[in-house]
Amino acid sequence: MNLIINGLQWGDEGKGKIIDFLTNFFDINIKFNGGTNSGHVIYYKKKKKILKLLPSGIFKKNCLFLLSNNVIINFENLIKEINQTIFYKKKIYLSNNFLVNNFINELLDYILDKKLKIGVTNNGITPIFIINSLKCSIRINNFFCINFLKKIKKIIFFYNIFFTFYNLRIKFYYKKIFFKFFIYFKKLKKNIIFNEKIINNKYKKIFESSQGSLLDFNNGTIPFVTSSYTNSKSVYVTSNFFLSNIIFLGIIKCYLTRVGNGFFLSKFSIFKNLLFSKYSNEIGTNSGRVRASGWLDLNILIKTIKTNNTINLIITKLDIFIFFKKIKLILNYFLKKNIINFEKINSYKVYSKKFKSWKKVNNVYFKNEKEFHLYIRFIEKYTNTSILIISIGKNIYDLIIL
């Protein structure tokens, strides 16, 4: 059996903890998208660990780990993370076909976002996909080629044109970049493997998405999306996965959050959002920015369930609602007549349902309060998707298995 875990919101759904738990039952943990623009928080031996590139199950001894084709690697950041998990270095494998990021792309990302105002994390993700579409990007398999130096010259030529266009007096010399890349490559050479050797075999695999479905380049809330494909079905194309015996699980929080720019209907007021973010620790793992928070939107959730072929749901952060008197679910909404600006909450007629909150949570499902049950069962009924796991805390075993 193979399993895909994918976030059904704008990321930050608590995927790290769930994957860390489920990796106990699998042989291989594969990360199939993302880069340093995303991050997962893991608590290992009661210590907080932030992972940006490595798979979330990295601290499990009886498992292999693969960074697949669609992951964007920054050599320096990867080596730092591997050094945190030095005992498991021999179990970490890198696809021979992933894209290599660098500091110049990060600078370009910053310049582009000043004009576009998307609210990106300035980790160079957009420029690397632009360069990839121009067919002059650097992949890890290029390091094995004799003409690697020519590849570096081409990409530097592109960079110099870009900075000249913006009237910036910056020039990059290919020899310095070449030697820096090659030093890092030597350190990771033993970990590079053909992607198909690990990804298409009989072992049990858990596939991990680093970002949420609403950030998908094609199906997300464009233009406020990432530049790669984050839907669970992209694993077939980007990772060359062809086995059919796979189960799709989707993770959601019991409320919505997003980092960066972009409108969403159930967003809290500024004051309420600041209070909520401080209490629930809703601060971006990678960006360090306060996340915009709001009530769970079931209308959006139904769409992402369908686009990701989701069979079961995992819901997290149910312990956050303990200090609420009442909570709300957004069911549906319609744009009012003669409205031009559709990025204001007052422009919509909103249908919602209110619930009473609960005072405590318990690891045994039937020992929880009536209000807790009503909330869970309503989500299941409205989305026509059963909930498999409920997370009620930050520790790995603060879970309810249904």
Domain covering 100-190 in this structure, CATH number: 1.10.300.10
pTM: 0.88
What letter represents residue 391's amino acid? S
Assess whether pLDDT exceeds 90 at residue 286.
no
pLDDT at 46: 77
Mean pLDDT of the chain: 83
Rounded mean pLDDT of 60-72? 85
pLDDT at 147: 75
pLDDT at 384: 94
Confidence of residue 327 (pLDDT cuts 50, 70, 90): very high
Same fold? 2-73+197-401, 100-190: no
Q: Is 110 exposed, middle or buried (0-12, 13-18, 19+ CB in 10 A)?
A: middle
List, for residues 82-108, the tens digit of each pLDDT value. 887 655 666 888 888 888 888 888 888
Rounded mean pLDDT of 196-208? 84
- Which residues have CB under 8 Å from 224's CB, separation 6+? 118, 119, 260, 261, 262
From CA 264, how far away is CA 276, in angstroms rounded?
17
Assess whether pLDDT exceeds 60 at residue 397.
yes
pLDDT at 390: 94
At the topology level, CATH places domain 2-73+197-401 in Adenylosuccinate Synthetase; Chain A, domain 3 (3.90.170)
From CA 352, how far away is CA 333, in angstroms rounded?
9
Domain ranges of the chain: 2-73+197-401, 100-190
Residue 164 CB coordination number (10 Å): 12
List, for residues 256-277, the tens digit of each pLDDT value. 988 877 777 888 887 888 888 8
Q: In what order do the strands lie in the sheet containing 326-335?
A: 255-258, 292-297, 326-335, 348-356
User: In whole angstroms, what separates CA 245 from the centre of its chain?
Assistant: 24
Q: Which residues pair with 397 in a beta bridge?
A: none
What ranges in 214-318 are assigned the alpha helix state H?
A: 235-238, 270-280, 298-307
